[in-house]
Chain A
Amino acid sequence: MSVTAIPYTVEPRPDTGLNNVKLGIWLFLASEVMLFGALFASYILLRVGADAGTWPRGDSILNVPLATLNTAVLITSSVTMVMAWASCMRRDFGKFRLYQGLTVLAGFVFLGIKYVEYTSKFHHDLFPSTSTFLAIYFTLTGLHALHVIGGMAYNAYLWGPGARMWKSDLEQFTNRVEASGLFWHFVDLVWIFLFPILYLL
């Protein structure tokens, strides 16, 4: 049985001017924008529709210093992610391993802080069923955390067993790191909006 290689994983397609990996990940991110967009719209609608004085300010319930720290952690992980890609471009495997590893580590730190936040809420009997605010808070941050876990899983794969491709096809490997990075930056971008609307307003 002959194996047919998937075309245009590295070289650009003549009609789109892009390789399929790049176009594919951007189309996927477009669908993600709509997923989070629907939830952001729900948040706005619930808040605007709430009776006057019943919607709490985020900082009266949530932990702003921890969320600020988590914002810094995610921003830092975005830099290490893009540095991992730059290391691929420089053909420096040691640096790639370092930055990719730091990105995954930052993901663990983010989830650890989130765990502390969630358990603190549960200990104070604050659950998604407690109020509309907490329902949308847990939905948005929970969905975001699932994205962090997904991104971490693929980044860890590229750091570990997936890195075998470094020797066999560095260009395709670099493309994979770039696509994975685009997803990771998107996750950071979503948090940039979640932080002020949930915690500060």
Chain B
Amino acid sequence: MSAHDVDVDKHVRTYIIVFVSLLALTLVTVAISYLEMTTGPAVALALLVATVKASLVACFFMHLISERKLIYLVLGFTVLFFLFVLLGPLATEANQVGV
């Protein structure tokens, strides 16, 4: 078995661990929805678990944990614009409520 094969084997073990974690976190997401919580904390908790799951997919399945700098730069800009698209309209709504 070559060093290359050993490296791929290590990756495969990680994939299985991530897979099990994702399934467990899916059950956690559903369980949280059965808790008697007000909308604010329920949204925050659900989004937190979803973000952890998404990070696992991005870091390990999409190999972002060991990617080149240029990809991080592209994604950095994407996150910036994404937040603007997400928060811009909300700011307008908050302004309306204030009026």
Contacts and interface: CB of A to CB of B under 8 A. Distances in A.
Interface stretch (A3-11, A81-89, A119-127, A151-159): A81-89
Contacts of A59: 33
Interface string A170-201: 00000000000110011011001101110011
A40 interface: yes
Contacts of B86: 37, 40-41, 44
B70 A33 contact: no
A189 B54 CA distance: 5
Interface in A87-102: 89-90
B71 interface: yes
Interface residues of B, number: 46
Contacts, number: 124
Q: Is the interface of B mostly helix, strand, loop or mixed?
A: helix
B40 to A, nearest CB: 11
Interface string B53-81: 11001100110000011110011011001
A17 B70 contact: yes
Interface of A: 16-18, 22-23, 26-27, 30, 33-34, 37-38, 40-42, 44-45, 48-49, 59, 64, 68, 71-72, 75-76, 78-79, 81-83, 86, 89-90, 181-182, 185-186, 188-189, 192-193, 195-197, 200-201
Interface of B: 4-5, 8, 11-12, 15-16, 18-19, 22-23, 26-27, 29-30, 32-33, 39, 42-43, 46-47, 49-50, 53-54, 57-58, 61-62, 68-71, 74-75, 77-78, 81-82, 85-86, 88-90, 93
